[in-house]
Structure 1
């Protein structure tokens, strides 16, 4: 028998997002959100092949670190942009991948791109490297080590 709720967290998130978008907590909007939360995961099931997430608590820690880093990076980029131009040291960095799961690599690339001051330019799966552009890079090895410690290692726990 097929599962009624193949992605329970997604179903809850869809319901909550629908209620927030409807801008009222009423029985009707909650019911529509619940129906969407039950139907949409079934419709999008083909888009989730082989995604197996382990340790959901690690996801919460990962998101907390990510949100903190986004806030700090916003402030750092603002200081760089408003400060003298000669303080900026933009550079491209090749980041060696340790991750093997393609979903984990996608999440890592998106995390880097969404964080202000960095963007994933290329994913080279044959050489197992990400090409990253950074607005300010005093020491490339520090950037690689920071990404490995704050994002790569937790993603190995989440996507074994």
Structure 2
């Protein structure tokens, strides 16, 4: 059976034992279940990729919230300036992500970050067109997106 299913079963068991079926109780059960599975996985021969994927998705989530914070401050500061310093541009970024889920995740993370917006994906799915509010140097903006969000999305979806 899938470790993810085991984790949810353990979370449900935790909630039943504590009598707390709230979101907090279930999340606590998920965390305890994750660590319990991690401890016993060498004994039962469970796939290690589940634990690696959870770690990588957690890192991607933390990275996204950090970028969300930084870009929100940058956009707010620019809006409050008497003379804005933004240099908006449409940039074309070559894609390393290939599957629909990877492209969807990347484009949503880019669009949710203030100051950037995913506009379109090319027909052959090899390029992403992005509107960037602060693209003084388009190549640096592309390098930043590729080395940050795209790299972490690739890590989260591949073993």
- CA contact under 8 A between 2:98 and 2:125: conserved in structure 1? no
Q: Residue deviations 1:84-106, cap 9 Å, x none? A: 44522111111110111221111
Q: Residue deviations 1:87-129, cap 9 Å, x none? A: 2211111111011122111110000000011111111241511
TM-score, normalization by structure 2 = 0.67
Q: More helix by proportion, 1 or 2? A: 2
CA distance in 2, matches of 1:7, 1:110: 29
Of stretches 56-65 and 83-92 in structure 1, the one that deviates more from structure 2 is 83-92
CA distance in 2, matches of 1:93, 1:140: 6
Alignment match of 2:103 (pick from 83, 88, 105) = 105
Q: Please show how residues 10-21 of structure 1 align to structure 2 within 5 Å.
A: none
CA distance in 1, matches of 2:66, 2:81: 23
Q: Residue deviations 1:42-86, cap 9 Å, x none? A: xxxxxxxxxx97622111111111100100100000111111445
Q: Report the counterpart of residue 80 of structure 2 in structure 1.
A: 82
Q: How many residues align?
A: 130
Q: Report the counterpart of residue 35 of structure 2 in structure 1.
A: none
Q: 1:100 is paired with a residue of what secondary structure? A: coil
TM superposition outliers: structure 1 runs of 4+ over 3 Å = 5-9, 26-31
- CA contact under 8 A between 2:90 and 2:129: conserved in structure 1? yes
Q: Please show how residues 30-69 of structure 1 align to structure 2 within 5 Å.
A: 30=22, 55-69=53-67
Flag structure 2 segments of 5+ consecutive residues without an equivalent.
27-48
